[in-house]
Structure 1
Amino acid sequence: MGQTDVGELYKRLDTTTALLKEDLDVSYMDALIETSENILDGGRVKVEAGLPHQQIREQLNAQYAQIKLGQLTTDEIRQAVQLSILRGERTDLIQANHQMTPDSIGFLVAYLLEALADLTNKPTLLDVTVGTGNLLYTVLNRLQVATKSVGTVYGIDNDDTMLALAGVSARLQGLNVELFHQDAISDLVVPQVTASVADLPIGYYPVDERAANFATRATSGHSYAHHLLIEQSMRYTVAGGFGFFVVPSMIFKSAEAKSLTKWMTSATYMQGLLNLPRELFQDENAQKAILILQNKGDQAKQAQRVLLGEFPSLKDQVGFRRFTDELTQWKQQNLA
């Protein structure tokens, strides 16, 4: 991995974004979308109503001339875009539910997907809370290395700025992605997929009429959005297919957990709940886990021993190798 290449592309993205932000008087995120569009257009600066000014155009052109996407790997481009989005989150003070999924969590989701799901026939993926795409693209890029042949991946989000960022990021990386701007709790236009992934926003879903179509809805008042999104994701996943969801570690401790548990038991097999490494969270109460569900049907069966526990520290290479060996053994004993 060429860290200098990642850093160089990030520097160009950040410099050109800052120039456009100042000259066009827009947010960092909007300027990042604009500069990415310019790069995708061969380094041609889009001009509207005389903006950006001629002097800024010349500075932009000088920066764009230094960018050589063809010399970078797909994941190097993703990392540079990710750094730019992180800068944008700090600059624009993005709300917590819109913040990007860190690489470390994406890596662990991808690892579980590779280890447990059937990826033999051009696997397809869905993320109903795609945001800027970092989780989905981290998983996709690792799958492309592992399987060489991946089908279309699909992303849904109701925030047009986040989706625009996901769009330019996918195009810069040359990924086969279809993105849809819509409420993920409404009827989706995506086909059934091999597996679903999502880093779920936590909170209440405001449209009770739509929530009424879900088994995980609350008996009174607003329903939990993350419960509805888990159910929705599995609806669009094939029989026997897996869903990997980043959820609060205490997801089953809430008063609303009863309807989630009842639906999970009837429609899916809960195969695991693995706490993410504690080092990733400043506050123990904020710790998250990866919930592993498998749809009923096909050859799927309930694991005799549900996979429970915590990932070792990502810095503990020996511990992680031991964990991978244990997971392989667990799969052979419980899912084979």
Structure 2
Amino acid sequence: MFGDIEKLFQVFDHSTTLIMNESNKTYLEALAETGENLFEGQVLQNLSKNTIEKLMNEYEKINLEQIPNETIRKAFQLAILKGMKEAVQPNHEMTPDAVCLFMSYLVDKFTHDKQMFRLLDPACGTGNLLTAILNNSKKKIQAYGIEFDETLIKLAYIGANLQKHEIELFRQDALQPLFVEDVDLIVSDLPVGYYPNDVVASEYELKSSEGHSFIHYLYIEKSLRHLKEGGYLIAMIPNFMFDGETAKNLHEYIKKNAVIIGLLQLPLSLFKNHKHAKSIFILRKRGENVQPPKQALLAELPSFSKKDAMKGMVRMIENWFRDNLS
């Protein structure tokens, strides 16, 4: 399988470089264009005859119809990661692949009683986490993604097309009013830092009393507002989220509006800088018949590459589901 991923990545990479060299675009912009060409089966840009020929030679090396979705996602992800090395802001880093797959597993466990559900990622970036979940679920999922960055949402759109997923994507600031009805599940790798728009932040209970508000606090409030009663939020949060004086307000807000289901600390080895380390935080929106679990799911996850340790962890999680959510 890795050979197929590598082969498809080479096609993405070579064709992207061809477009980039002739059209003075960034790697990520050119990658979106080559993805669109692949999907449409023709070169859509106004390029020289020589470049068009070279592009068509690249595209003819593969047949997307015969390539599994996960191979397409992973190859596209590798190309995006290459492009992001050029110039990337810290909050644009892609969710590690092992985490995407683990979160897909959690989604499956928390929706075990549903054949169909509505899913939202309010900070979907390139759509990698969303498509990983869609690829690894046998259920009917109505999926929505929100992203403010124009290049990232274009890549999300292209990635969804290449994998033949119907995802409704909105280019907007997710903390402003959304045109999405309440959903059953929100899954997101939350942006971290300060939110610059104090006017919008003033509409939130978790706004800061002075200066800019924490964007990760506001996203938690926004998510809980957009969940149906009893819906779940599975979010990647910074490990320092509950540190400091301001965390008191966050604790109070969560206590009032949700029940804490679990907190799973991700292995530090996933993060170049341990200051940027994250955990998976799971909340359930309060509602009729919503009871807290007998015991919250609390664990420190081992390195995903340690197979035996991971098997033991999954057994522990399976037992927790059996005892708390059956």
TM-score normalized by structure 1? 0.93
Paired residue for 1:206, among 196, 200, 223?
196
1:96-245 paired onto structure 2 within 5 Å: 96-143=90-137, 148-245=138-235
Instruction: Please name the residue that 2:30 is paired with.
Output: 31
Instruction: Please name the residue that 1:95 is paired with.
Output: 89
Instruction: Please name the residue that 1:46 is paired with.
Output: 44
Instruction: Please name the residue that 2:18 is paired with.
Output: 19
Separation in 2, partners of 1:293, 1:86: 30
Separation in 2, partners of 1:41, 1:301: 49
Paired residue for 2:314, among 319, 324, 327?
324
Measured after TM superposition, the shift of residue 30 of structure 1 is 0.7
Number of residue-to-residue matches in the alignment: 326
- Unpaired runs of at least 5, structure 1: none
Instruction: Please name the residue that 1:270 is paired with.
Output: 260
Separation in 1, partners of 2:212, 2:186: 25
Identity of aligned residues (%): 35
Measured after TM superposition, the shift of residue 158 of structure 1 is 0.7
Whether the aligned pair in 2 keeps the contact of 1:301 and 1:335 (CA below 8 Å) is no
Instruction: Please name the residue that 2:65 is paired with.
Output: 70
Instruction: Please name the residue that 1:309 is paired with.
Output: 299
Measured after TM superposition, the shift of residue 303 of structure 1 is 2.0
One-letter code aligned to 2:232: F
Partner of 1:238, secondary structure, is: strand
Measured after TM superposition, the shift of residue 241 of structure 1 is 1.1
Partner of 1:299, secondary structure, is: coil
Which string of whole-angstrom CA distances, capped at 9 and with x for unpartnered residues, describes residues 236-294 of structure 1?
Answer: 12211111111111210133212211110000011111100122123333221001111
Instruction: Please name the residue that 2:77 is paired with.
Output: 82
Paired residue for 2:246, among 247, 253, 256?
256
Separation in 2, partners of 1:156, 1:168: 15
Deviates more, 1:125-134 or 1:284-293: 284-293
Whether the aligned pair in 1 keeps the contact of 2:119 and 2:144 (CA below 8 Å) is yes
Separation in 1, partners of 2:304, 2:31: 31
One-letter code aligned to 2:283: L
Separation in 1, partners of 2:181, 2:67: 32
Separation in 2, partners of 1:219, 1:78: 42
Partner of 1:227, secondary structure, is: helix
Instruction: Return closer, same or farther for 1:117/1:149 CA change in 2, 3 Å cut-off.
Output: closer
TM-score normalized by structure 2? 0.96
Separation in 2, partners of 1:305, 1:330: 8
Whether the aligned pair in 2 keeps the contact of 1:217 and 1:259 (CA below 8 Å) is no
Instruction: Please name the residue that 2:51 is paired with.
Output: 56
Instruction: Please name the residue that 1:300 is paired with.
Output: 290
Deviates more, 1:213-222 or 1:298-307: 298-307
Whether the aligned pair in 2 keeps the contact of 1:126 and 1:155 (CA below 8 Å) is yes
Instruction: Please name the residue that 1:8 is paired with.
Output: 7
Partner of 1:123, secondary structure, is: strand
Partner of 1:251, secondary structure, is: coil
Partner of 2:242, secondary structure, is: helix
- Unpaired runs of at least 5, structure 2: none
Whether the aligned pair in 2 keeps the contact of 1:117 and 1:242 (CA below 8 Å) is no
Separation in 1, partners of 2:37, 2:306: 42
Q: What is the aligned-residue RMSD (CA, Å)?
A: 1.5
Whether the aligned pair in 1 keeps the contact of 2:96 and 2:270 (CA below 8 Å) is no
Measured after TM superposition, the shift of residue 315 of structure 1 is 2.2
Measured after TM superposition, the shift of residue 126 of structure 1 is 0.4
Which string of whole-angstrom CA distances, capped at 9 and with x for unpartnered residues, describes residues 57-79 of structure 1?
Answer: 11111111222001111111111
